Amino acid sequence: MQNENSIFVSSEIGTLKRLMIHSPDSGLGKVVPSKAQDWLFEDIIHLESMRKDEYDFYVKILLYFLDPEKVKGKLNEIDKPENKRGFYKPDDERYFKSDKVIDPQYLLSQILENEETKSKLVASVCAVERTTYQLQQDLITLSADDLAKTLISGALPNGKMVFPPVPNFIFTRDIGITINNHLLLNRPAKVVRVRESLIMKYIFHNHPLFADLQNRIIEVTEEDHQFFLSDDDQFLNEVTVEGGDVMTVSPEQIIIGCSERTSLTAVNQIITFLFEKNVVQKVAVVKIPSKRDFMHIDTVFTQVKRNMWVIFGALSKQNVAFQSKDYTRHFIDKGLNMKPHILQFEKGTPEPKKFEYLEDLLDDISQKDLKSTEPTQFIYSGGNVFPFELREQWTDACNVLALKEGVVIGYDRNTKTADEFKKQGFRVIEAETLLEEFESGKNSPENVTNTLILLPSAELSRARGGSHCMSMPILRENI
């Protein structure tokens, strides 16, 4: 792999050139009902259906847009049952080995070929997981491929579970976010995500692909005095950040969500670092309710075009004008404050700018930062009609990934939201149908514009994360 221009992202919508994803591993199939919520899942999933019937389409769409030579004209061969999905498995010799659509497990196995790195990472993981010294010694004897698989899935090659799985590893967005030519690594809010965070730190600090990145990695940390605070004070001063709460929306500005997973203390650290290093000039902070319904800001809104965003109406100015008794009873009678608090900090300016509504901030970004020549438009989940706006936000209607400006991936189950895309002139097409067009030569990624690509999502949606969550863009073209 080449490390030239290994990372650079200056917007949410520039043409995607390189990203990191993790195909569902065997650990996902070991989540049990009693531990589902502890492991941040709402339900248990059927692994084979998620892989073959859903996620594989995501991989093929990404490869067709980013690295077409890996798949063009090969889909029938790739999906033959006798190949046993080897094309999608980083530990299989038939794996596609793209340097544009990259699985962390593939990179992990490569850095584990170094004995010193292997020893250090095994010791670190065993310390985090509080294992026996004997297990640590046993892990050292595994091959790099087997060890990479074990560290992620939690199972030895013989199938024996030695660690809990890390089922959230499919949501690579949360592990890190690229801000121009810097990388912000996460500090997860939940213990279940610590191992995946540790693995990614080793990858970014040790893989040759990121050799030019070492002085541009940002990590939030606890200050020394945190160790001397009472338990209550430590809670108030928690330092946690996850990538779903950070969006690089223009070369000059990022948005950070203060949410269930990202703390205000971490936000302050990030702002200080970015301004000191002159990485960006503006940081907008959006405080959303600390509720499981939302988790991160990318479950509330994501960008489609420079002048278009998909958004959850309950946190918008539309909510204020909405007079439905059902809607009011759901939110107001329960005493929930749904209105986000929004401040925009600009380097060198003493007082932050306040935005009354989410649309006001996003309109400001579209018009001033991205220089849109058209009015800003908003697509609301479920058409902003009760109860569909709530149902479809829950299944990630507001969580789309832009492959390029105006071409985004979403979930097929969010039908009312898809209708709203159609009203804006978008073509809405199932991933399987689009791939058939590509294979037959009737269409090509270069010719796709203003399109919502729908992934099958019966199992994927149970994991509470959409295509935006399942991606870590590390290289985009400037827009």
4 assigned to some structural domain: no
Count: domains in the chain: 1
> What is the predicted pLDDT for the residue at 235?
44
Inform me whether the pLDDT recorded for 4 exceeds 50: no
Rounded Cα gap, residues 341 and 316, in angstroms: 11
Mean pLDDT of 92-110: 96
Helical segments of 277-355, H only:
317-321, 325-331
Alpha-carbon distances of 16 from 93, 177, 288, 348, 406, rounded to whole Å = 27, 14, 28, 32, 12
Tell me the residue range of the domain where 326 lies: 16-476
Strand, coil or helix: 99: coil
Dihedral sign for Cα 189, 193, 197, 198, please: positive
Between 344 and 335, name the one with better pLDDT.
344
DSSP conformation letters of 21-37: -----GGGGG--GGGTT
Rounded Cα gap, residues 247 and 361, in angstroms: 13
Nearest to 73 by CA among 440, 443, 444, 432: 440
413 assigned to some structural domain: yes
Kindly give the interhelix angle for 133-140 and 115-129, rounded to the nearest 10 degrees.
150
Spatial contact of 307 and 377, defined as CB atoms under 8 Å apart: yes
11 assigned to some structural domain: no
Counting Cβ atoms within 10 Å, is residue 466 exposed (0-12), middle (13-18) or buried (19+)?
A: buried
8 assigned to some structural domain: no
| Angle, CA 253 vertex, CA 470 and CA 364 arms, to 5° | 100
3 assigned to some structural domain: no
36 assigned to some structural domain: yes
CA 421 to chain centre: 22
Q: Which of 8-12, 269-273, 290-294 has the highest mean pLDDT?
A: 8-12
Nearest to 445 by CA among 7, 27, 65: 65
Beta-sheet pairing, 246-250 with 282-287: unpaired
Inform me whether the pLDDT recorded for 284 exceeds 90: yes
> What is the predicted pLDDT for the residue at 164?
86
471 assigned to some structural domain: yes
Dihedral sign for Cα 338, 281, 240, 194, please: positive
| Angle, CA 341 vertex, CA 337 and CA 344 arms, to 5° | 175
370 assigned to some structural domain: yes
Spatial contact of 315 and 380, defined as CB atoms under 8 Å apart: no
**456 band by pLDDT with thresholds 50, 70 and 90:** very high
Rounded Cα gap, residues 244 and 249, in angstroms: 13
Dihedral sign for Cα 474, 4, 59, 20, please: negative
Say which residues have a Cβ less than 8 Å from residue 446's Cβ, sequence separation at least 6: none
Beta-sheet pairing, 377-380 with 407-411: unpaired
Torsional class of 335: left (φ above 0), alpha (ψ -120 to 50), beta (otherwise)? left
Strand, coil or helix: 454: strand
Torsions phi, psi for 382 (to 5 deg): 60, 20
Q: Which stretch of 62-66, 185-189, 475-479 has the lowest confidence by average pLDDT?
A: 185-189
DSSP state of 471: -
Strand, coil or helix: 287: strand
How does pLDDT run across 147-194, given as a tens digit for each residue?
A: 999 999 999 999 999 998 888 899 999 889 999 999 999 887 777 788
> What is the predicted pLDDT for the residue at 83?
94
Inform me whether the pLDDT recorded for 308 exceeds 90: yes
CATH number for the domain harbouring residue 161: 3.75.10.10
> What is the predicted pLDDT for the residue at 331?
43
Which residue is listed with tokens 């994501």?
302
Q: Which stretch of 140-149, 214-223, 260-269 has the lowest confidence by average pLDDT?
A: 214-223
CA 157 to chain centre: 29
Nearest to 19 by CA among 460, 407, 470, 465: 470
First to last CA, the chain: 25
